[in-house]
Structure 1
């Protein structure tokens, strides 16, 4: 297991180096170079030359890359010249808010999807199974922005039951002070995530229930509850563990559209604004951050395989 972790960490480092190279190349492929993209299209040659000299952009490309990597290793993701803030400070302020939004939706969707998926597997090809499957397909096919608008229309505009806009605030405490505004964005992401998790849980549970050791447990006279939750559940959760591990980047990316629909001041909303204002430094900094989360998520998913299924041995 230790050898596997060392190998996977080595592979993750290689992937992160590849991500950094891509981000570095994209930064230098900007029209007019990074200087003109940051200063603006009306930048004079003198201003561009001064900016390049100040930021080391007049040095050889290889030297620039190693300086860029040294900054990344120090945790420096760059600076947003549009907002006059470091990318780190922006992420420190907005990531907790995105974690609150998408993390809550992830937890709620798992709480709902796992028992429903198991019940569908046990009662497959029945009325409940067909109904739940139809609902899952319907939710899975809905774009999150469209589902969010529908929920706003019915629950905020027509019924006036919930606010249409997410709570606004400069920090997490200010947002938590108005919890009713979080209901619709969290509900939107929960419904979309539930559709995916429930389908995987149903398929995994059906496959696990068909195994020989389940038939052996039934032959021993064990109760259905014991069979389902002591023997079957751990093995059926393996695909879900993979999905949850790979969902780490969605703490930033999955909420991009939803945060825009509900005007939620998270990282996704900042990413959209950076794209609209051509704040390339902030965009690339967030991309690097998401790349790190993706690698960490894959590593967690691999570890979860070994934890949930002791038969799995990495050679």
Structure 2
């Protein structure tokens, strides 16, 4: 297990390093550069030159990247051009709120998707299975922003029982104090995830229903309820655990849209506003945080798989 962890951590570090290089190069090849984005199209050549010199953009790309990496090693993600605040402090303020949104959306999705997938797996090829599969595919294929707009129209306009705007509190306690404002953003994030997780759960249940250990358990007189919920479901959770790690970038991208629609004060809204103003330090910092979170999520998923599935433990050894 130690060798496995060391190998995975080494791979994670390489991935994060490559992400910083690729994103840095992409952002610095945007036409006009950061100076034009910050100062506007009417900025003079002298103003642009002064801005580039002040922030080091008149140096070569390798020098700029080295300055950026040196800052990262000291915990410095730079300073926002438009908000006059360090990127680290901005991310520190916003990321807990995004984690609350994505965490609750994922929890709701799992609470619905796991039993739904098990139920569909046991009643495959039935009329209800086909009907739910159709709904699931519609939910999966529908863009997140469209789902969010539908929820707004239904629950904020046609049946006005929930607020359109998410809570604007600065603290997590303030967010939960206005819990009604969290309902629509959480539902918007959960619907697409239900579609993904339920399909994987259904396929895993179908695969495990044909395994020898299921026939053995039934031959020993175990009740169908015990066979399904104790044996089949436990082994069927392996692909779901793996998906949780790989779903992180999807969850963050969905959060960007959801936070923009509901004006939720998280990382997604911060990233969106920074993209509109070409605030490069925020964009680099946000992408780096998302990359690190994705890598850590994948690593945690691999470790959990090893504990859940004996076959994975055997392969590691």
Instruction: Calculate the TM-score normalised by the size of structure 1.
Output: 0.92
- Counterpart for residue 6 of structure 1: 6
Q: How many residues align structurally?
A: 315
Runs of 4+ residues over 6 Å off in structure 1 = none
- Partners of 1:112 and 1:77 lie apart in 2 by 39
Q: 1:28 to 1:139 in 2, by over 3 A?
A: closer
Aligned equivalents of 2:52, 2:182: Cα separation in 1: 44
Taking the aligned partners of 2:66 and 2:276, their CA distance within structure 1 comes to 30
1:314 and 2:316 matched: yes
Structure 1 residues 163 and 51: CA distance shift in structure 2, 3 A: closer
For the residue of structure 2 that corresponds to 1:10, the secondary structure is helix
Residue ranges of structure 1 left out of the alignment (5+ in a row): none
Give 1:158 shift. 1.4
RMSD (CA atoms): 2.1
> Alpha-carbon deviations, 1:277-311, whole Å to 9, x = none?
22222122211111111111221222122111112
Q: How does 1:21-60 map to 2 (within 5 A)?
A: 21-44=21-44, 46-60=46-60
In 2, Cα distance between equivalents of 1:220 and 1:117: 26
- What residue number does 1:165 align with? 165
* TM-score, length of structure 2 as denominator length: 0.91
The CA deviation string for residues 149-192 of structure 1, in whole angstroms up to 9 with x for no partner, is: 11211211112111122122233232222111111111121112
CA distance in 1, matches of 2:14, 2:291: 12
Cα contact 2:256–2:267 (8 A) shared by 1:
yes
Contact conserved, 2:34 with 2:279, CA < 8 A, in 1? no
Change in 2 beyond 3 A, CA 1:49/1:152: closer
Q: Contact between 2:34 and 2:278, CA under 8 Å: does it hold in 1?
A: no
2:162 is paired with a residue whose SS is coil
Partner residue of 2:73?
73
After TM superposition, the structure 1 stretch with the greater mean CA deviation from structure 2, 261-270 or 22-31, is 22-31
